[in-house]
């Protein structure tokens, strides 16, 4: 999966075939403006304002508290990008905005759009990172309000993956205890526990995260079956032969190789014989030549925002093998482009 210029008429098709499309302009000026229009439309509340039906620009501006002329420009931009439809003097939602951007849509990405507003500023600091090599370490710099935006944004990001993750996460027969390290909102733990009725889960996450993730977990109504534990996976005791599954989703891209090796060893010790360690991660192809857009760009992004980056399945399996686990064949998730699971089993 990748973003790219899509010719829309015969002249553009010919231009594309002849190599005359200004690809860098599409990839930069257009991509930046498109991204910002969708983020700002979400922040202003344009999509939710249209949930009940089409409205004029003036009506939208009044409901959202936007300046009318400026709001009109945004609405036209969103219509040009197929996030809104315009007809008979009114703007309406399109299938894309209705499905993904309404606050109460089943798999709403609205909260991820709000998180992207913060991430925009992180990305603007790429030049400093390239010159100094110093990452942002954003976990250490978030304000309490931003911690809340971060937790809700991550929940929105994975909400579209839930059915597939619940189905494909390997859980040994008769398993009882599931540890979700960096599990935040608990959406994935809850879905996996619903699929495996004998399972109960503990979500270990940083105290600042738990504070804001607690109301999100409460929405899952799992009671004592899925609970938070505030702590630090890098220093807390994970126990010995205490868990049937240890699940780590979207966390190891924040840690460097040595940290992940050490953590994997502690996880291997914490697993019961026959237990499974599941790494769910954005994977990086094994050579830049094979790198897809998503894995490669997010590798740069996580290097900038943490201290690490994305990992190859081979690297993840290497940590597992070194810790005495037996890696399984990696699985690529269909509903989470660029993401996969690298599981490994502890010998009985």
Rule CB under 6 A: which residues touch ligand SAM?
Answer: 139, 154, 158, 181-184, 204-206, 209, 232-234, 249-251, 254
Tokens linked to 240:
């010995």
Task: Supply φ then ψ for residue 301, to 5 degrees.
Answer: -60, -45
Q: Which is nearer to ligand SAM, 41 or 182 (CB)?
A: 182
Q: Which is nearer to ligand SAM, 109 or 158 (CB)?
A: 158
| Least gap, CB of 221 to ligand SAM (angstroms) | 19
Q: Which is nearer to ligand SAM, 61 or 209 (CB)?
A: 209
Q: Which is nearer to ligand SAM, 74 or 166 (CB)?
A: 166
Q: Which is nearer to ligand SAM, 235 or 287 (CB)?
A: 235
| Least gap, CB of 341 to ligand SAM (angstroms) | 12
Q: Which is nearer to ligand SAM, 154 or 271 (CB)?
A: 154
Residue number with the smallest Cβ distance to ligand SAM:
182
Q: Which is nearer to ligand SAM, 253 or 346 (CB)?
A: 253
Tokens linked to 93:
């939602």
| Least gap, CB of 150 to ligand SAM (angstroms) | 7
| Least gap, CB of 306 to ligand SAM (angstroms) | 9
| Least gap, CB of 213 to ligand SAM (angstroms) | 7
Residues contacting 277, CB < 8 A, separation 6+: 245, 246, 248, 264, 267, 268, 271, 320, 325, 343, 344, 346
Give the DSSP letter string of 32-67. Answer: HHHHHHHHHHHHHTHHHHTTTS-B-HHHHHHHHT--
Give the DSSP letter string of 239-254. Answer: -SS-EEEEEEES-GGG
| Least gap, CB of 323 to ligand SAM (angstroms) | 18
For CA atoms 115, 226, 261, 284, give the dihedral sign.
negative
Tokens linked to 237:
């005791």
Going by C-alpha positions, the residue among 175, 194, 130, 206 that lies closest to residue 277 is 175
| Least gap, CB of 10 to ligand SAM (angstroms) | 44
Task: Supply φ then ψ for residue 262, to 5 degrees.
Answer: -65, -40
Going by C-alpha positions, the residue among 292, 287, 266 that lies closest to residue 277 is 266
Q: Which is nearer to ligand SAM, 47 or 301 (CB)?
A: 301
| Cα–Cα distance measured from residue 236 to residue 337, given in angstroms and rounded to the nearest whole number | 32
Can you tell me which residue has the tokens 């439809």?
Answer: 85
Give the DSSP letter string of 129-150. Answer: HHHH-----GGGT--HHHHHHH
| Least gap, CB of 249 to ligand SAM (angstroms) | 3
């Amino acid at each position: 999966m990748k973003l790219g210029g899509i010719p829309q008429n015969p002249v553009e098709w010919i231009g594309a075939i002849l190599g005359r499309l200004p690809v860098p302009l599409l990839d930069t000026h257009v991509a930046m403006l498109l991204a910002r229009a969708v983020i700002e439309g979400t922040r202003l509340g344009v999509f939710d304002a249209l949930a009940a039906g089409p409205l004029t620009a003036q009506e939208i501006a009044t409901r959202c508290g936007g300046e009318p002329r400026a709001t009109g420009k945004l609405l036209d931009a969103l219509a040009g990008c197929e996030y809104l439809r315009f007809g008979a003097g009114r703007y309406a939602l399109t299938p894309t905005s209705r499905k993904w951007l309404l606050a109460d849509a089943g798999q709403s990405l609205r909260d991820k759009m709000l998180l992207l507003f913060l991430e925009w500023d992180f990305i603007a600091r790429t030049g400093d990172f390239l010159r100094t090599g110093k990452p942002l370490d954003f976990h250490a710099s978030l304000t309490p309000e931003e911690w809340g935006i971060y937790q809700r944004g991550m929940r929105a990001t994975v909400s579209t993956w839930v059915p597939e993750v619940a189905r494909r996460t390997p859980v040994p027969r008769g398993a009882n205890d599931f540890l979700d390290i960096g599990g935040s909102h608990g959406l994935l733990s809850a879905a996996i526990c619903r699929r495996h009725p004998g399972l109960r889960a503990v979500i270990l996450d940083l105290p600042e995260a738990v504070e804001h993730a607690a109301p999100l977990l409460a929405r899952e109504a799992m009671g004592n079956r899925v609970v938070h534990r505030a702590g630090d996976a890098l220093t807390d005791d994970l126990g010995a032969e205490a868990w049937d599954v240890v699940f780590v989703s979207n966390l190891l891209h924040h840690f460097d190789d040595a940290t992940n090796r050490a953590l994997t060893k502690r996880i291997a010790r914490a697993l019961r014989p026959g237990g499974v360690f599941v790494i769910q991660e954005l994977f990086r192809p094994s050579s830049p030549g094979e790198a897809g857009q998503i894995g490669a760009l997010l590798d740069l992004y996580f290097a900038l925002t943490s201290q690490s980056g994305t990992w190859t399945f081979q690297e993840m399996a290497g940590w597992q093998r070194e810790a005495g686990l037996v890696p399984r064949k990696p699985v690529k998730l269909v509903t989470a482009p660029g993401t996969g699971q690298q599981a490994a089993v502890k010998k009985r």
